[in-house]
């Protein structure tokens, strides 16, 4: 009978970890639906970017208030959860505060004391985040794409963090042995008076309840990540590592198109002679659905934090256009999830559902509203590139459907006929000088 709690704990732990691994495999499967892209260059710079942006939060602190609050939550939540290692060992082997058996009381007290201070700081920070979202109502959190689920999801995570930090403090405050040590109870000693009228057995029940709820909450939180925008807690690291190292504004060229243009411009090549096909033409130019995008773009979609910094910096959005870079990423992720569920239902194969990312999720009006200024890319705190998706979808519209806006068609016709975007032939190009 004495081993029943340990068996229950171990069963819940295994169940939580197995479910998490299952979701991770599904996540990897969905990302790999994208086209292959070689991102193996300059690994030293990539490691540096990951250390500075994902670990060092360098782009978050560009907005000092939100950046500082996020750093507190990030550092606090990660460090406090070191305590989870002790909880897991205690749960599996039936010990209590195993750290006291391997560490001096002063060292253990210092660690727990630091955790308690961080827990309070995290509580303050997440409360501030909640106020910013729900009381102050910052405009970027209330854009049209922030429907019921995105709003609720953000609040659910804040509530999760509040509850987990509170349970940690209550667990310490009602642990009679820990309080009698008078080491490490920097914050919890001020909570203990609220329980002074409770018997020792009641305090033990409260402490054990807080302990169980804390570890269950962490397992639930871990598995909730897959369904939440907070998946960026895990994906920010690979996303910043694989982020583009090219200068902002440098677009990719299609190899097959580049080859054809070079052949046409080569004076030594007979344009009427058959040319060997050294490069196979792609099945589709550009992208109309998520499978046409590359795997890094799909990773970007899953990494999106929905913070709205990209949209708040977008000049098209600021002038009232429908474009929201955040919505581009959210729509891409939602469509990818839909495709993944389709594959699950059809035993590993995708069955055409009559939908695609273009038109069913992202409208043409949104795509053509983009000015290609890269403001969204520069603003993203985790190196997401909404512009690359927009450009690939535009490429599909132009090269596959000949569906460019009239203004763009006129410009391309002028370039073809006049060698310049303007409707003047080459002989008249310099007439303005005589006026």
pLDDT in tens, 66-108: 899 999 998 887 887 788 889 999 999 989 999 999 999 999 9
Least confident range of 114-128, 137-151, 184-198, 246-260: 246-260
Pair (154, 294) in one structural domain: no
Pair (274, 128) in one structural domain: no
Pair (203, 282) in one structural domain: no
Residue 424 belongs to some domain of the structure: no
Tell me the CATH number at 389.
1.10.1060
Pair (225, 288) in one structural domain: no
Query: Which structural domain, as residue segments, surrounds residue 127?
Result: 4-31+63-241
pLDDT digits (tens, 9 = 90+) for 115-153: 999 999 999 999 999 999 999 999 999 999 999 999 999
Q: How many domains does the chain have?
A: 2
- Average pLDDT (243-271) is 78
- d(C-alpha 423, C-alpha 413), whole Å: 9
The number of residues making up the chain comes to 435
Tell me the CATH number at 17.
1.20.950
Say which residues have a Cβ less than 8 Å from residue 435's Cβ, sequence separation at least 6: none
How confident is residue 215, by pLDDT bands cut at 50, 70 and 90? Answer: very high
Long-range contacts of 71-79 (CB under 8 A, 24+ apart): 72/118, 72/121, 72/122, 72/124, 72/125, 73/122, 73/125, 73/126, 73/129, 73/161, 75/118, 76/118, 76/119, 76/121, 76/122, 76/125, 77/122, 77/161, 79/114, 79/115, 79/118
Pair (303, 196) in one structural domain: no
- d(C-alpha 127, C-alpha 22), whole Å: 33
Pair (293, 336) in one structural domain: yes
Return the pLDDT at 204: 94
Residue 254 has pLDDT above 90, yes or no: no
Pair (267, 140) in one structural domain: no
Pair (167, 296) in one structural domain: no
């Amino acid at each position: 009978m004495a081993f029943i709690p340990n068996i229950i704990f171990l069963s819940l732990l295994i169940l939580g970890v197995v479910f998490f691994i299952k979701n991770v495999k599904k996540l990897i499967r969905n990302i790999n639906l994208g086209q292959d892209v070689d991102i193996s260059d300059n690994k030293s710079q990539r490691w540096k970017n990951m250390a500075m942006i994902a670990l060092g939060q360098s782009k978050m602190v560009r907005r000092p208030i939100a950046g500082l609050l996020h750093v507190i939550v990030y550092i606090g939540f990660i460090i406090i959860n070191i305590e989870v290692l002790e909880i897991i060992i205690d749960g599996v082997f039936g010990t209590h505060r195993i750290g006291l058996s391997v560490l001096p009381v002063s060292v253990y007290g210092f660690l727990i004391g630091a955790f308690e201070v961080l827990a309070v700081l995290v509580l303050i920070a997440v409360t501030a985040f909640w106020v910013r979202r729900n009381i102050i109502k910052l405009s970027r959190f209330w854009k049209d794409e922030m429907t019921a689920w995105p709003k609720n999801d953000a609040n659910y995570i804040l509530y999760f963090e509040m509850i987990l930090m509170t349970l940690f403090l209550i667990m310490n405050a009602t642990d009679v042995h820990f309080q009698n040590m008078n080491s490490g109870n920097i914050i919890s000693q001020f909570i203990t008076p609220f329980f002074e009228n409770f018997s020792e057995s009641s305090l033990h029940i409260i402490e054990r309840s807080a302990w169980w709820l804390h570890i269950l909450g962490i397992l639930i939180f871990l598995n909730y990540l897959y369904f939440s925008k907070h998946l960026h807690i895990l994906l920010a690291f690979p996303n910043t590592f694989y982020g583009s190292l090219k200068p902002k504004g440098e677009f990719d060229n299609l190899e097959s198109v580049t080859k054809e243009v070079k052949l046409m411009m080569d004076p030594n090549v007979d344009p009427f002679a058959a040319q060997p096909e050294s490069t196979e033409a792609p099945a589709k130019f550009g992208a109309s659905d998520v499978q046409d995008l590359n795997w890094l773009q799909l990773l970007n979609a899953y990494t999106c934090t929905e913070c709205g910094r990209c949209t708040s910096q977008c000049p098209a959005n600021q002038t009232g256009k429908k474009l929201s870079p955040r919505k581009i990423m959210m729509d891409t992720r939602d469509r990818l999830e839909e495709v993944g569920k389709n594959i699950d239902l059809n035993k590993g194969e995708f069955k055409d559902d009559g939908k695609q990312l273009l038109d069913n999720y992202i409208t043409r009006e949104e795509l053509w509203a983009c000015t290609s200024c890269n403001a969204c890319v520069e603003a993203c705190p985790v190196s997401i590139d909404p512009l690359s998706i927009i450009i690939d979808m535009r490429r599909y519209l132009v090269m596959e459907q000949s569906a460019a806006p009239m203004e763009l068609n006129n410009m391309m016709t002028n370039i073809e006929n006049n060698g310049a975007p303007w409707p003047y032939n080459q002989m008249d190009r310099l007439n303005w000088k005589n006026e």
